[in-house]
A = this chain, B = another copy of it.
């Protein structure tokens, strides 16, 4: 038994060995090498396979022994039955971490479970760390390292502060459009069967990674609840942790056995563990990213009082229902704010929410936009307001993205309260353009009024936990 290697060898390898097929295709060694090169991996790549000589101008080595340099990480994409022998070679070579993509282990049958025990034994004996088996791999944008087994059709993913951990391949860049995500991604890892590296290991490592501001986890099971709780409590002092726990229902739990060989455990136990640790549970897959992006970019609120400024009164009313449901309270504006708002648009204003719809037809575009801007400032400067939900229509008056962006751009650097934006409009492409533009500035945009408010609720929840 050797002490376990540092996970830095997994997330930031300097030399990688790739075991698999180097035949052109959308999966396997060929794809991994291609993507490492095109993503600009700064380290050394050693393709290993006795049946090939060269791939992308790189020498393919017949075996790992032939590589003279030390190797940090091995990525293995062979038949399951070949994996134990490869792992032995890796152990001999002193490889520090392995990503085992191959499936057909504990999630498949008894034979697979036996194979899985064999590779775990090797890891325990040598200190080598294993991610998987049954994983699509890992991505670290900060260090230009993409180890994904499938073709990604990607352009470079924007570097950011969000870490995503999943127990499913759909967390990977071959499945999700991370390169189109304006807020930026830091690291993504699919833990697969979690035969060795588990959620606690990863949470601890990512918790200590100063380039990461928020960690979002998709989990099918928890390997060691007590350790997870202990680590989560430490991490949450530094950054928020979001968890989507699958297998919440009896039926869902049953299905997990054949997906990653997981035992989901009692959901109520997990729920109380989250409450103790200050972990934020989310209900839906998309919420992992939706809430991560506001946590990564906006300041925390000091309290739960929300101000709403909206181009639609109907939309504001929908938001208020959700605010009440997720622990927010409607802010009572200060006398000064009310007075100023009533001066700005005498017929109807003074109270929260502020409906920018009625004055729209009576003001010219320029006047109306400065009205929007001034209204937003009144909310941000009111001591009775802790956070702001804002509704922006894509292109009322044919107004450009630039006008809307200007409204929030001037706040950058001085923003002391979080803003969540709901964007809608009669053209999907205008909505997408506006959303991207605002998110590039660090202002999270949502396509549902309810989610924008729920995101502020999550901010408040985390603020309470720290």
> Which residues on A are within 8 Å of B, measured CB to CB?
26-28, 103-104, 108-109, 151-154, 166-171, 173-180, 218, 220, 244, 246-252, 254-256, 258-260, 283-286, 312-318, 320-321, 323-325, 329-330, 347-348, 351, 353, 355, 357-358, 360-361, 393, 395-398, 424-428, 431-432, 447-450
Contact = CB atoms under 8 A, between A and B. Distances in A.
A244 B323 CA distance: 16
Contacts of A353: 255
B175 A108 contact: no
A27 B431 CA distance: 21
A256 B321 contact: no
Which of A103, A284, A314, A428 has the largest number of chain B CB atoms within 10 A?
A314
A103 to B, nearest CB: 6
A168 B313 contact: yes
A321 B251 contact: yes
Contact of A177 (B260, B318, B427, B450): B427
27 contacts: A26-B398, A103-B358, A109-B347, A153-B426, A153-B427, A168-B314, A170-B312, A170-B424, A175-B425, A176-B426, A177-B427, A177-B428, A178-B426, A179-B426, A180-B427, A180-B428, A246-B318, A249-B320, A249-B321, A251-B320, A251-B321, A251-B324, A251-B330, A254-B330, A256-B317, A284-B450, A286-B448
Report the copy number of this chain in the oligomer. Answer: 2
Contacts of A153: 395, 398, 426-427
A427 B154 CA distance: 8
Which of A247, A316, A321, A396 has the largest number of chain B CB atoms within 10 A?
A321
- Top 6 A-B residue pairs of the complex, sorted by shortest distance between their CB atoms: A168-B314, A249-B324, A252-B321, A259-B313, A252-B320, A251-B324
Given A174-B426, A353-B255, A395-B153, A169 B103 contact: no
Nearest to A306: B251
A220 B317 contact: yes
A168 B295 CA distance: 31
B448 A312 contact: no
A326 B33 CA distance: 44
Nearest to A246: B317
Given A26-B397, A355-B259, A450-B285, A317 B175 contact: no
A222 B247 CA distance: 39
Contacts of A396: 26
Contacts of A314: 166-171, 218, 220, 246, 259-260
Contact of A347 (B108, B428, B449): B108
Contacts of A173: 426
Contacts of A424: 170, 175-176
A108 B218 CA distance: 48
Contact of A426 (B154, B348, B357, B426): B154
